[in-house]
Structure 1
């Protein structure tokens, strides 16, 4: 990770105690914040971070995930505020943001709430939640939770379901996902927060550089990737041809390269 060993730690913020993994604190370069999807943890970006040099890297367990305390309010807004509070505690005035799925919406909200603190925005498989999308998601079946069964078959069912969304056999990726699912009493709480968000209310608030990263084999996100592009007239797009629901883990080299190329081409560092 940035040529230095990752440093896990707990940080007490105004939004509660958060677990965060950092590297490169002594690097004289910009800060890069990586925000995971639900119900994952910082571990989702472990491989990507190891391929990126020259940054101070900050990867939090978002509130209610991994080893971070659950927030009183289960909303995208509260999560974004918590990450800004974390950056305040770490004395990071501004940063490049990268968010995947749920983490992308958190980054979207951070950019709308505090645009002066966001150097650039990379939104990977990030949904645009407008009235039509909120209605489509209303009453949708749980995506991550499967009721426990005495014979343990729910674990096999969860394994098979996740495999449907991956481009290739990836036992290690599936195992890491299932570990995080099993650590939650409600692994779909993040889905509820996403479904209640109002992306349209934040249009036009962030004028800075944006990269919309789409994963061609992400069955949940790719069919609607044009909507997030339309939200940012200044945005560039990069399509990960082999990308899927877990692109930071299944194609980390291409994911990291897309970030670095974007920064090299359009971001003033």
Structure 2
């Protein structure tokens, strides 16, 4: 498999960190909250055999520059800043959970920069969802404890999303979460505050929706999103909230097959 390399690029927000693998047509992968590029640690070597696969740390997360404002719009600013820093006028864009919402915003505001769009497990942000979520405890919230007990609490909260034998993936989640432990819920709050209804009609980019069959949070939203975006939905068995880690082969195959079937398909051999 192709080698994954990591580096920083300079942007107006400060340094943005990214990992990339392979050569050829650029495909940008955006991670969920509160993760980093490591959500795609198994995807990049597979995709890198066919394309230039790039996974940045979202602005404010991982090793990318810290910011005060957590919003989908600001995260999308960070994506465009990475594209500018890399000199990429046009890419295929893939996002998972929060990353999918960020990708949607980029597609709504800068359609000329995208050749194709893949939205994995994207939540459908509606007023009803906001009302429903407002009565629930913050997602991934813990209070830092002197004895480090908050790390164990985070592990416990996320344990159910990973099968036995997937402890390496859960460890990567924990490392990512502890880097933003003071703002763990802010990425999720940004999703719920996003005005998605006004942005969906602006998306004209060729789009694929996908979701893990065992993702109870995102799967129910997909039929309505498919209608709104007038696009195909692909459901992948054997995966839940952490689809790119749980089924990296199927995830990457779905992305590449979609890109190959498009008008620029010859670029994704």
TM-score (norm 1): 0.91
- Which deviates further from its counterpart, 124-133 or 136-145? 136-145
CA distance, structure 1, for counterparts of residue 193 and residue 149 of structure 2: 32
1:247 and 2:240 are equivalent in the alignment: no
Q: CA deviation at 1:214?
A: 1.1
Query: Partner residue of 1:13?
Result: 11
Query: Partner residue of 1:47?
Result: 42
CA distance, structure 2, for counterparts of residue 191 and residue 139 of structure 1: 14
1:102 and 2:98 are equivalent in the alignment: yes
Q: How many residues align?
A: 263
Structure 1 residues not aligned, in runs of 5+: none
Match of 1:230, SS?
helix
1:172 and 2:171 are equivalent in the alignment: no
Query: Partner residue of 2:137?
Result: 141
Query: Partner residue of 2:223?
Result: 226
Match of 1:99, SS?
strand
1:258 to 250, 254, 259: 254
Query: Partner residue of 1:203?
Result: 200
Q: CA deviation at 1:268?
A: 2.2
On the 8 A contact 1:122/1:211 being kept in 2, the answer is yes
- Which deviates further from its counterpart, 88-97 or 161-170? 161-170
Match of 1:32, SS?
strand
CA distance, structure 2, for counterparts of residue 20 and residue 150 of structure 1: 32
Q: Residues 19-59 of structure 1, C-alpha deviation per residue, up to 9 Å, x if partnerless?
A: 111233xx3x3110000001000111110111112212221
CA distance, structure 2, for counterparts of residue 223 and residue 168 of structure 1: 25
- Which deviates further from its counterpart, 155-164 or 102-111? 155-164
Q: CA deviation at 1:223?
A: 2.2
On the 8 A contact 1:167/1:244 being kept in 2, the answer is no
Distance 1:88 1:103, change over 3 A: same
Match of 2:19, SS?
strand
Query: Partner residue of 1:123?
Result: 119
Q: CA deviation at 1:166?
A: 3.0
Q: CA deviation at 1:14?
A: 2.1
Within 5 A, what are the aligned runs for 1:153-168? 153-168=149-164
CA distance, structure 1, for counterparts of residue 236 and residue 164 of structure 2: 14
1:68 and 2:64 are equivalent in the alignment: yes
Q: Residues 196-251 of structure 1, C-alpha deviation per residue, up to 9 Å, x if partnerless?
A: 00111112222221110111111221222223212211x11110111111111111
Query: Partner residue of 1:82?
Result: 78
Q: CA deviation at 1:162?
A: 1.1
Q: Residues 109-131 of structure 1, C-alpha deviation per residue, up to 9 Å, x if partnerless?
A: 00001011111111011012122
- Which deviates further from its counterpart, 128-137 or 100-109? 128-137
Match of 2:202, SS?
coil
Distance 1:149 1:111, change over 3 A: same
Structure 2 residues not aligned, in runs of 5+: none
Q: CA deviation at 1:168?
A: 4.9
Match of 1:18, SS?
strand
On the 8 A contact 1:48/1:253 being kept in 2, the answer is yes
CA distance, structure 2, for counterparts of residue 80 and residue 36 of structure 1: 12
1:192 to 161, 186, 189: 189
Distance 1:146 1:210, change over 3 A: same
1:32 and 2:30 are equivalent in the alignment: no
